[in-house]
Amino acid sequence: MLKKSLLVLFVAIFCLGNANAQKKSKVKKLSDDERMEWWRDSKFGMFIHWGAYSIIGGERGTKIAGGGAEWAMDKLDYTIEEYEKYPKMFNPELFDADAWVTMAKEAGMKYIVLTSKHHEGFALWDSKVSKYDVMDASPFKRDIIKELSEACKKQGIVFCFYYSIVDWHHPQAQGNLYPNYNISQHDDPSVVNPEFPEYYENYMKPQVGELLKNYGDIGVVWFDGDWISDYTTEMGKDLYKYIRDIQPNTIVNNRVDKGRTGMDGMNNKPGQFAGDFGTPEQEIPDTGIDSDWEACMTMNGSWGYKPSDNNWKSSEDLIEKLVDIVSKGGNFLLNIGPDGFGRFPSESIRRLKAMGEWTKKNGEAIYGASASPYEKPKWGRYTTKDGVLYAHVFNWPTSGTLKLHKDIKVKKATILTDPKTELTTLATSREVLVDVPMLAPDATVTVVKIELAK
Ligand code: FHN
């Protein structure tokens, strides 16, 4: 009897495994260009840094953490035991995934990258690998990754997640803070934890696997913490393959491997490191890079919620940064740091609204647009799409004449938001002159649409 039931069980397991493999094989594996297409066209995404650090706000008594408030555990010298009280207080009852996604969508953002687990190690999903997660270590007991991924799907926004390789809560993955994390903060790159490979195989990969298997299509896996000496390029290449085997069409950033360490990826040979796009941070390259890249940036000076940091970039500056990045062939991943209640800061909401008003009117010159073949003009930037050149004017000419590159052959010029009014143009040997209104039609960036002559 026992033999028969064991045989039945074996057959059942075999069929289930086979069916699963069949299911996996049903996903059509896209070519690299097909896989990257949605991302290249999107241009603009929302980064969200949210975790137990969002309760702390970067402050401990009289001390304020330098830099990002998401580094509170390290910068404010919490021991692991001291820090563990914060997940126990994490109960963001004002969290509303649908509202977050709506704010991103109305800002003109096409994808969202949420920190599933930052360096603090606290997981925002129902992890079966660890109990240091929102379901077991906090009173909130809601699967944030599930709620946000479902809200994204409902509203047509691509859901992506960030995952930190370094994990200050895990004794095998504290990077250069090992082995004295709790006692003193030392940072010696030659110090590696011999048990890190065990964390990589038995904790990190299974957690990444959970996120890829249980929350639908994942647009991008955004790794971070790649800099620790414990993490090797062999692991990076293995992890990239692991991800693509589970979801073949997911895009992975260059921090999955060690590509950032070689002069920030500028001097790497093609194929030397795994990863689908470069990740300049808090900066925009001077010129375009002839490979895929995404600049990530904060609105103030902190990724995590930091009420003491009032160094907010203006909406106009953020719009100009979006244009500058797109004119150089990149994507813009702009960060929000929600507070411990689950609210976006009002300063962030105001900027998202302003960017949404601008992208609603001028999105044609951004989404799916490419880098300009012309060097950047003094007054702004060019983008191009489908035989049309878009002149994004940051500094409106007081003379009433906009000067374009002399090689531009104009068929028709209009203000993008006023398509019925054709502008007069004159080609000279030195430049192309365009008669424009004395006052800039848009207080931030006005776009002149130039249909090019064949
Ligand atoms: O240390 C992190 C930091 O907290 C933040 O997450 C940024 C965002 O890209 N990445 C690391 C710093 O490079």
Q: What is the pLDDT of residues 382-431, one digit of tens each?
A: 999 999 999 999 999 999 999 999 999 999 999 999 999 999 999 999 99
Q: In which band, very low, low, confident or very high, does the pLDDT at 6 lie, cut at 50, 70 and 90?
A: low
Per-residue pLDDT, averaged over 27-41, amounts to: 96
- Residue reference for tokens 């008003």: 357
Contact 391, 402 (CB under 8 A): yes
Per-residue pLDDT, averaged over 243-270, amounts to: 85
Q: In which band, very low, low, confident or very high, does the pLDDT at 97 lie, cut at 50, 70 and 90?
A: very high
347 is a domain residue: yes
Tokens at 235, concatenated = 């692991």
Rg (CA), the chain: 24
Q: In which band, very low, low, confident or very high, does the pLDDT at 263 lie, cut at 50, 70 and 90?
A: very low
Give the atom of ligand 1 at the shortest distance from the alpha carbon of 296: 9
Q: Mark whether 310 and 426 lie in a shared domain.
A: no
**Rounded to the nearest whole angstrom, what is the distance from the C-alpha of residue 287 to the centroid of ligand 1?**
23
Domain boundary at 341, 365, 389, which? 365
Instruction: Compute the distance between CA of residue 303 and CA of residue 309 in angstroms, rounded to an integer.
Output: 11
Name the residue of 224, 260, 277, 331 whose CB sits within 8 Å of the most ligand 1 atoms, as the mutation to test its pocket.
Answer: 224
Residue 23 in this model has a pLDDT that exceeds 60: no
12 is a domain residue: no
Q: Mark whether 133 and 273 lie in a shared domain.
A: yes
Q: Which amino acid, residue 248?
A: P
Query: What confidence score (pLDDT) does residue 12 get?
Result: 53
Per-residue pLDDT, averaged over 356-376, amounts to: 96
303 is a domain residue: yes
CATH of the domain at 324: 3.20.20.80
Q: Mark whether 181 and 282 lie in a shared domain.
A: yes
Q: Mark whether 267 and 326 lie in a shared domain.
A: yes
Give the atom of ligand 1 at the shortest distance from the alpha carbon of 304: 4
DSSP 153-212: HHHT-EEEEEEES--TTSTT--GGG-S-TTT-----TT---TTHHHHIIIIIHHHHHHHH
Residue 24 in this model has a pLDDT that exceeds 70: no
Per-residue pLDDT, averaged over 18-44, amounts to: 80
Residue nearest atom 11 of ligand 1, based on CA coordinates? 224
**Rounded to the nearest whole angstrom, what is the distance from the C-alpha of residue 169 to the centroid of ligand 1?**
17
Total residues found in the chain within this entry: 454
Instruction: Compute the distance between CA of residue 323 and CA of residue 300 in angstroms, rounded to an integer.
Output: 19
Tokens at 259, concatenated = 């590509």
Q: Mark whether 104 and 174 lie in a shared domain.
A: yes
Percent with pLDDT over 70 in the chain: 93
- Residue reference for tokens 């962030």: 348
Contact 230, 193 (CB under 8 A): yes
Query: What confidence score (pLDDT) does residue 325 get?
Result: 97
411 is a domain residue: yes
Average pLDDT, the chain: 93
CATH of the domain at 435: 2.60.40.1180
- Across 255-280, b (16+ Cβ under 10 Å) vs e yields bbbbbbeeebbeebeeeebbbbbbbb
Q: Mark whether 392 and 347 lie in a shared domain.
A: no
Q: In which band, very low, low, confident or very high, does the pLDDT at 21 lie, cut at 50, 70 and 90?
A: very low
Tell me the three state secondary structure of residue 111: strand
Q: Mark whether 357 and 399 lie in a shared domain.
A: no
Residue 103 in this model has a pLDDT that exceeds 60: yes
- Residue reference for tokens 């650090």: 53
355 is a domain residue: yes
Q: Mark whether 286 and 393 lie in a shared domain.
A: no
The residue among 285 and 17 whose pLDDT is bigger is 285
1 is a domain residue: no
Name the residue of 117, 223, 303, 332 whose CB sits within 8 Å of the most ligand 1 atoms, as the mutation to test its pocket.
Answer: 303
**Rounded to the nearest whole angstrom, what is the distance from the C-alpha of residue 224 to the centroid of ligand 1?**
7
Residue nearest atom 5 of ligand 1, based on CA coordinates? 303
Domain boundary at 335, 365, 395, which? 365
Q: Mark whether 108 and 197 lie in a shared domain.
A: yes
Instruction: Compute the distance between CA of residue 240 and CA of residue 236 in angstroms, rounded to an integer.
Output: 6
Contact 443, 388 (CB under 8 A): no
pTM of the model: 0.94
As for ligand 1, residues whose beta carbon falls within 6 Å of it are: 68, 70-71, 224, 281, 296, 303
**Rounded to the nearest whole angstrom, what is the distance from the C-alpha of residue 403 to the centroid of ligand 1?**
40
Range of the domain at 401: 380-452
Query: What confidence score (pLDDT) does residue 18 get?
Result: 46
Per-residue pLDDT, averaged over 347-370, amounts to: 98
371 is a domain residue: no
429 is a domain residue: yes
Q: In which band, very low, low, confident or very high, does the pLDDT at 160 lie, cut at 50, 70 and 90?
A: very high
Number of domain units in the chain: 2
Q: Mark whether 220 and 340 lie in a shared domain.
A: yes
**Rounded to the nearest whole angstrom, what is the distance from the C-alpha of residue 296 to the centroid of ligand 1?**
9
Predicted confidence (pLDDT) per residue in 280-333, tens digit: 999 999 988 789 999 999 999 999 999 999 999 999 999 999 999 999 999 999
Query: What confidence score (pLDDT) does residue 267 get?
Result: 66
Residue 109: phi, psi to the nearest 5?
Answer: -85, 145
Contact 448, 405 (CB under 8 A): no
Name the residue of 281, 299, 331, 336 whose CB sits within 8 Å of the most ligand 1 atoms, as the mutation to test its pocket.
Answer: 281
Residue 142 in this model has a pLDDT that exceeds 60: yes
Contact 240, 179 (CB under 8 A): no
